[in-house]
Amino acid sequence: MPALPPDEIHRLHFINALFARVTGNDLYLAQQIKEGIAFSLAELEAQMQSHPEFAEKYDAAFNTAAATLLGKFFAAEPRQGFFHWDASRTVTSATPLFARAELMTGLKLLAPFAESTLLVTNLRPALLPSDRRATPRRQREYENALTYVRDLAAARTSAQAELHLLFL
């Protein structure tokens, strides 16, 4: 088997971590899931061959497709809660006021479950856009946002509940 490029290895480990309950840390199964997601994005991948600048768009689409698939998996699990928060859904989603409102909605949905997963996507691109410089202020805002989400989830989750917090 030929060596995979670094971005493919990154996606493979990402899928393996995200779908650990399905794959049981079997990279072959993770590869199957990754290929399924990539197949659904074949048109975008073909465009990326002629336009390398679409790579970031492809990564975002891959993450969204993986999050959607994970949501479907957890929907079939009646004893496991799942909520996906996309920080770049709107221009203001990543700001503390709106983040709190959106996250509290998710945490309320997860409250009845003894085990649940909160998936946070696109927080980094929302606060540190690739088309702008990563200034110390922006980096500090990103670190503060990570801490804020962790603290809010810890404060609003029952001590008996197990919450898996995933950042993509």
Of the residues 66, 87, 121, the one at which a domain ends = 66
Q: Is residue 155 part of a domain?
A: yes
Domain count across the chain: 2
- Regarding whether 114 and 49 lie in a shared domain, the answer is no
- Regarding whether 101 and 165 lie in a shared domain, the answer is yes
* Residues 6+ positions from 67 with CB-CB distance below 8 Å: 84, 86, 119, 121, 168
Single pTM value for the model = 0.77
Quick one: pLDDT at residue 2?
Answer: 65
- Regarding whether 103 and 43 lie in a shared domain, the answer is no
Taken in order 26, 42, 166, 137, the sign of the CA dihedral is positive
pLDDT over 90 (residue 61): no
Residue of higher predicted confidence among 51 and 19: 19
Quick one: pLDDT at residue 163?
Answer: 92
Domain that holds residue 55: 1-66
Q: Rounded CA gap, 100 and 85, in Å?
A: 11
- Regarding whether 162 and 88 lie in a shared domain, the answer is yes
Average pLDDT over residues 88-113: 87
- Regarding whether 86 and 62 lie in a shared domain, the answer is no
- Regarding whether 164 and 123 lie in a shared domain, the answer is yes
